[in-house]
Structure 1
Amino acid sequence: MNKRYLAAALGFPAALTSGTAAAETRLPPIIVTAPAQAGRVLPPQTVVTQDELVDRQPRSLADVLRGVAGVTVRANSRGETVARIRGAEERQTQVFLDGAPLAVPWDGRVDLGLLPAGLIGDVRITKGAAPIEYGTNTVAGVVDFQTRQSAQGSFAHAEAGSLGSGSASVVLAERIGAVEATLAAGGITRDAEPLAGPLPFSQASRSRRTNSDLDAASFFAALGTEQGDLRLRASVLHLAAERGIAPESDRPAEAGTRFWRYPDIALTQATLNLGLTLADHAEFRATAWHQDFSQRIAQYRSVSYAALRRTQDDDDSTTGGRIRLAHRLGPLDLRWAASAQSSTHRQVETDFPSGIAGPRLRYRQNLYSAGVEADAQLAQGIRATLGAAYDAVDNPLTGDKPRQPSLGAGAFSSALQFDLGSGAALTFSGGRRTRFPTARELFGEALGRFAINPDLRPEQAWLADVELRLTRTGFALTLNPFLIRSENTLAQRVVADGRRQRFNLSGATSFGIDARLAHDLTETLRLELSGTALSARADAGSAPIRRLPQRPSYEALAVLDWNVSGRFDLRAELRAIGKAIDLDAAGQRVELPAAAEIALRAAIPIARMGARDLVLTFAVDNLTDAQIFPQAGLPSPGRLWRIGLRFD
């Protein structure tokens, strides 16, 4: 991506924020993906509100999720920043934006580090057996982003930091008569990620991570209106980016280290949401989406990134929709939901130095889901929700690879809640979910890195949760023990020629507990504690190493927030990560040590401009420059400082 696009995003007219203050009322959001309703019992959910986003000073959607109990955010081996729920693979965590899936279906993943956080109004994280509206492949849980609307007001923020890092967001969210409009632009840039300690291979600098630069710019526009019982909102998101992929530094070049870059990434997604009230206790909602995605992967011969070995040009187009009908039938509240999505992937590989392009391969995957949920009041203070669905997949186009059979699987969920009084509630939930292999897992060779396995089977998971919530004035406690029994879990092994291959484990079991405590120590001082303890093991005899890789035994976050209204807001964070394991280039076990990092945040109002404040912000990430390895050879960034201005 040319730097001028990023400059355009960062320089998006600040005058946008000089308009009228946000209206006190707004059009209700058309949430098609599992809205909370009276009588509905949902599995464990965490909502990150706008106030919490301001406190955390996130730069990207990935930063929004850091510190949420049960959610791990990390960069994978392709340099993509992804979210995992309770140690599950990132493809088992579905990501939505305003009701539309955000991940590229070919890969089943989305890079959350490319989109600016300023676009988001709030986010809901659902863990466990997710409601049926989310459709296929929601095995571990869901991250559901909602874009900013007029009640949350306009917003602008720009910051700069060490190693050429910077980010900016400008959002105009206003209601004009019967129309609610949102316009947004943002950008994220860095010359390199900071390096906290020495690395043995493919690392020339002591301070800058090799090939870890990033430039991303995004634009968003939405219009909504309400006409009687009908509500509509149409939106479009465009992202353009380029970035490097840091090489694995735990192995020499001859061990298959990837020297890759993404010189061109582009995503455009259009979404249409509709809500229609039919009668008392009856409502129809629908979401339709279309996504175009393209990228170029450039593979180089050495760490100098001078001589190309091969390129891969990807082009994806996806169209889908979801409908939902809610109505009352006697003592039951029913929700019928159905969704369908079709995605086509086109791919060309070109070898160098000849520059001769190979054949243009086409792949297509279709996903379907349909089901029903029912809510019932069983007794005073006791509610239940039961659901059942059927998911299906077919792959009508398979490029030059073997044909695949159509597959289907049933899903179900149940949740039972007891109102214990005095702000306490106890919820039991569980169910079964299935994830079908993505087209890339079935057919993708990743520029010679993977040997395909046409016999991959769908993953299935049995999930069980218990959640205790206790809420008092200035105090909130959540305890959530969980159990996940997986069958046919996808894993990787190293084959004789050094390539990796995906295969199905017979099964794996994960269990642990998520917990969160928030307590107002005084009127201005708040304490937050959150974390997850996790054990994840493959069945005996199903894998050479039973402990599942890249699953820390615990993750914990302690926060002290000192907020004196109108004067300052200071925040200190301590994040601790337990031991984990990974596999090296030969498939052998590698120990990943426990680690901890400290982050500091400060926000100081410096001027009042009409109804808004101009705020000076300051942040330091990984203050002690701790070396943290979420996976072998690919450390997390070292110390990074940033300073900026916020206008809201």
Structure 2
Amino acid sequence: MSRRILGACAVAGHAALAIGAAGAQPSLPPITVTAPAAPVRVLPPQTIVTIDELVDRQPRSLADVLRGIAGVTVRANSRGETVARIRGAEERQTQVFLDGAPLAVPWDGRIDLGLLPAGLIGDLRVVKGAAPIEYGANTVAGVVDFQTRQSSQGSFAHLEAGSRGSGSGSAVLAEKLGPIDLTLAGGGITRDAEPLAGALPFNQISNARRTNTDLDASSLFAALGTSIGDVRVRASVLRVDSQRGIAPESDRPSDAGVRYWRYPEIALTQATLNLAVALGSRSEIKAVAWHQDFGQTIEQYRDLSYTTLRRTQVDDDSTTGARLTLTHDLGPVHLRWAASAQSSTHRQVETDFPSARAGPRLTYRQALYSAGVEADARIAPGIRATLGAAYDAVENPLTGDKPRQPSLQAGAASGALRFDLGDGAMLTVSGGRRTRFPTARELFGEALGRFALNPDLRPEQAWLVDAELQWGRYGLAVSVNPFLIRSHDTLAQRVLADGRRQRFNLAGATSYGIDARIAHDLAANLRFELSGTLLRARANAGSAPVRRLPQRPSFEGLAVIDWNVAERFDLRAELRAVGKAIDFDAGGGRVTLPAAAELALRAAIPFARLGSHQLLLTFAVDNVTDAQIFPQAGLPSPGRLWRVGLRFD
């Protein structure tokens, strides 16, 4: 399968080169349905990563795109999914969007960002704090908002191979063909195993290759957009197929509830329709509709040999949703109305072995609703404000063989003030209240006997406050963002006497810290960047056996030196440091996750041109020193990995 993936990407790459070399024509502006920036609008802290920065980092997947952004942590969870966290919040509190449509599977509230190729993405925005109302319910910690490539960003292709049987490739044809804006993309990611840095005490066969961490993933994407008068429309389809293993926990023996799982099949199809209609110079209607089909098979084995099945679970999910926004002026105020609705159905069948007798087909359904309004206004010269309020609700009309759940509602509010301090300085103060409802899996999922249900789970609520100071002049850009998050009923896990885990609501928790970034042009072709987060996260006294929240490093930092000499080379060195954290062992006891640091090196050397485009040789080494890093107990990050490839820009 690996050879087929990379071969297909190579063929697609030749097509992108041939058509891309013909030259691009003027293209349509993107239809930004989720929280577009505007001069009159004040947004909470956000980080925008442009397409040039994306290419510079040589990412393989969407997960790699997010690494190193201040306030964002990327890690593999216990199910082997690569997920993103904002400011230490749980991954379900961080919503992920693609072209305005939620990308996560609603049953679980998560998406594996390690399965999608990075070449598909045109730009990225990470919103931290009280997210704008367009993003709807459940955006407690923030938002990761991906936008796919369009013709204005040009075609792209890359193909690479590396150690431990790893490889990746993607090709994107993004062109303007008359009135049509066309994007076609294909990609693949493969590996035989993740490299291992250092010995592990349990459930490890080799000292070099992490057990059961193979991966094969492929994706296809197509989009067509056009403009007819004041109407712009874009339709797209994404298909992802993959299979992979899940590393067993290495900090506990096999009789302590170790997860011996494999995913022989994962398939996601998502169709999205974006529409924008201009009603005047300051009024517009925007809409996005989406339909997602998701299916997966989970195989649970009895031991490390992965030969004898204990149980299988087959999941089938179908989701349909839409969002509508209307913006217009009302006197001196600019108003923005937003409403969204989504319904998701999950079907599940479990089969026990050796009897191979299938259990009942259980069906669950959850519906989310959100509606709100924001107002932008100029308060005084150099001072602008945005105020918003929203109403969110959830229903669970189908609950399988579990007891019915009541409908839940919650209000949301936010406000932001921006002060133009002059001399390139800007101060933004923002805050608000947001709610996340438990997912259907948190309410009803037993994860093949791993979890005991808690039918009394309540929605998570958070009050968020941010102050962001930005300054930039003379090739120097500085951003400092202190923040405070006061949470109520945050979901946590505890270990029961029988070894199963159970979710429960903490009475409350407080997180505070600072996100910061400095970027300085040391010379015309030499750039230095330093970014990071300091974080302190604690549960209320008496609400948990250990007050310090697990898997929240005390700090994360990234230092980058980028030396780019046009037409000759681009060299990049990245040093990432992670502070101490804690986690819990199989019995619920506290363990310390030590501080660590890893070094990565990147190089790109152009060697040929096709018109205005370049062909480059690329080289990369991840975790050069083979450092052992533990984002959570028993599940280390990969060790040293080298990559060599070709890239077309």
Instruction: Tell me whether the two structures share a fold, i.e. TM-score over 0.5.
Output: yes
Instruction: Find the counterpart in structure 2 of residue 247 from structure 1.
Output: 248
Instruction: Find the counterpart in structure 2 of residue 521 from structure 1.
Output: 522
Instruction: Find the counterpart in structure 2 of residue 258 from structure 1.
Output: 259
How far has the Cα of 1:13 moved from its partner? 5.2
Greater Cα shift, 109-118 or 47-56: 47-56
Secondary structure in structure 1 of the residue aligned to 2:187 = strand
Distance between the aligned counterparts of 1:148 and 1:17, measured in 2?
Answer: 16
- Paired AA for residue 334 in structure 2: D
Unaligned runs of 5+ in 1: none
Instruction: Find the counterpart in structure 1 of residue 215 from structure 2.
Output: 214
Question: Does 1:643 find its partner at 2:619?
Answer: no
Please show how residues 553-568 of structure 1 align to structure 2 within 5 Å: 553-568=554-569
Alignment deviations for residues 166-201 of structure 1 (CA, whole Å, 9 cap, x no partner): 000000000011110000000000000000000000
Secondary structure in structure 2 of the residue aligned to 1:521 = strand
Instruction: Find the counterpart in structure 1 of residue 598 from structure 2.
Output: 597
Distance between the aligned counterparts of 2:497 and 2:514, measured in 1?
Answer: 39
Distance between the aligned counterparts of 1:341 and 1:396, measured in 2?
Answer: 13
Instruction: Find the counterpart in structure 1 of residue 141 from structure 2.
Output: 140
Aligned in 2, Cα 1:63/1:171: closer, same or farther, shift over 3 Å? same
How far has the Cα of 1:236 moved from its partner? 0.2
- Paired AA for residue 410 in structure 1: G
How far has the Cα of 1:3 moved from its partner? 6.8
Instruction: Find the counterpart in structure 1 of residue 542 from structure 2.
Output: 541
Instruction: Find the counterpart in structure 1 of residue 18 from structure 2.
Output: 18
- Paired AA for residue 626 in structure 2: D
Please show how residues 148-187 of structure 1 align to structure 2 within 5 Å: 148-187=149-188
Distance between the aligned counterparts of 1:226 and 1:67, measured in 2?
Answer: 37
Question: Does 1:228 find its partner at 2:225?
Answer: no
Over the aligned positions, Cα root-mean-square deviation in angstroms equals 1.0
Determine if contact 2:6/2:159 at 8 Å carries over to the other structure: no
Distance between the aligned counterparts of 1:240 and 1:409, measured in 2?
Answer: 36
Aligned in 2, Cα 1:13/1:472: closer, same or farther, shift over 3 Å? closer
How far has the Cα of 1:5 moved from its partner? 5.6
Distance between the aligned counterparts of 2:361 and 2:568, measured in 1?
Answer: 60
Instruction: Find the counterpart in structure 1 of residue 197 from structure 2.
Output: 196
Alignment deviations for residues 453-505 of structure 1 (CA, whole Å, 9 cap, x no partner): 00000000000000000011411100000000000000000011110000000
- Paired AA for residue 599 in structure 1: A
Instruction: Find the counterpart in structure 2 of residue 430 from structure 1.
Output: 431
Percent pairwise identity: 77
How far has the Cα of 1:15 moved from its partner? 2.0
Secondary structure in structure 2 of the residue aligned to 1:254 = helix
How many residues matched?
648
How far has the Cα of 1:610 moved from its partner? 2.2
Aligned in 2, Cα 1:10/1:496: closer, same or farther, shift over 3 Å? farther
Secondary structure in structure 2 of the residue aligned to 1:546 = coil
How far has the Cα of 1:423 moved from its partner? 1.3
Alignment deviations for residues 531-571 of structure 1 (CA, whole Å, 9 cap, x no partner): 00000000000000000000000000000000001100000
Instruction: Find the counterpart in structure 2 of residue 286 from structure 1.
Output: 287
Determine if contact 2:5/2:187 at 8 Å carries over to the other structure: no
Instruction: Find the counterpart in structure 2 of residue 117 from structure 1.
Output: 118
Determine if contact 2:13/2:158 at 8 Å carries over to the other structure: no
Greater Cα shift, 3-12 or 512-521: 3-12
Instruction: Find the counterpart in structure 2 of residue 309 from structure 1.
Output: 310
Aligned in 2, Cα 1:526/1:24: closer, same or farther, shift over 3 Å? farther
How far has the Cα of 1:10 moved from its partner? 5.3
- Paired AA for residue 632 in structure 1: A
Greater Cα shift, 1-10 or 344-353: 1-10
Determine if contact 1:6/1:216 at 8 Å carries over to the other structure: no
- Paired AA for residue 520 in structure 1: D
Instruction: Find the counterpart in structure 2 of residue 318 from structure 1.
Output: 319
Distance between the aligned counterparts of 1:311 and 1:485, measured in 2?
Answer: 40
Alignment deviations for residues 386-416 of structure 1 (CA, whole Å, 9 cap, x no partner): 0000000000000000100000000000000
Secondary structure in structure 1 of the residue aligned to 2:523 = coil
Determine if contact 2:9/2:159 at 8 Å carries over to the other structure: no
Give the alignment's TM-score, normalised by structure 1.
0.99
Please show how residues 308-387 of structure 1 align to structure 2 within 5 Å: 308-387=309-388
How far has the Cα of 1:7 moved from its partner? 4.7
How far has the Cα of 1:26 moved from its partner? 1.3
Distance between the aligned counterparts of 1:198 and 1:559, measured in 2?
Answer: 30
Give the alignment's TM-score, normalised by structure 2.
0.99
Secondary structure in structure 1 of the residue aligned to 2:119 = helix
Secondary structure in structure 2 of the residue aligned to 1:158 = strand
- Displaced runs of 4 or more, over 2 A: 1-13, 20-25
Aligned in 2, Cα 1:484/1:373: closer, same or farther, shift over 3 Å? same
Distance between the aligned counterparts of 2:2 and 2:197, measured in 1?
Answer: 29
How far has the Cα of 1:11 moved from its partner? 4.2
Unaligned runs of 5+ in 2: none
Question: Does 1:445 find its partner at 2:443?
Answer: no
How far has the Cα of 1:16 moved from its partner? 2.7
Alignment deviations for residues 395-443 of structure 1 (CA, whole Å, 9 cap, x no partner): 0000000100000000000000000112110000000000000000000
Distance between the aligned counterparts of 1:427 and 1:279, measured in 2?
Answer: 29
Instruction: Find the counterpart in structure 1 of residue 570 from structure 2.
Output: 569
Distance between the aligned counterparts of 2:257 and 2:9, measured in 1?
Answer: 37
Determine if contact 1:10/1:185 at 8 Å carries over to the other structure: no
- Paired AA for residue 14 in structure 2: A
Determine if contact 2:251/2:634 at 8 Å carries over to the other structure: yes
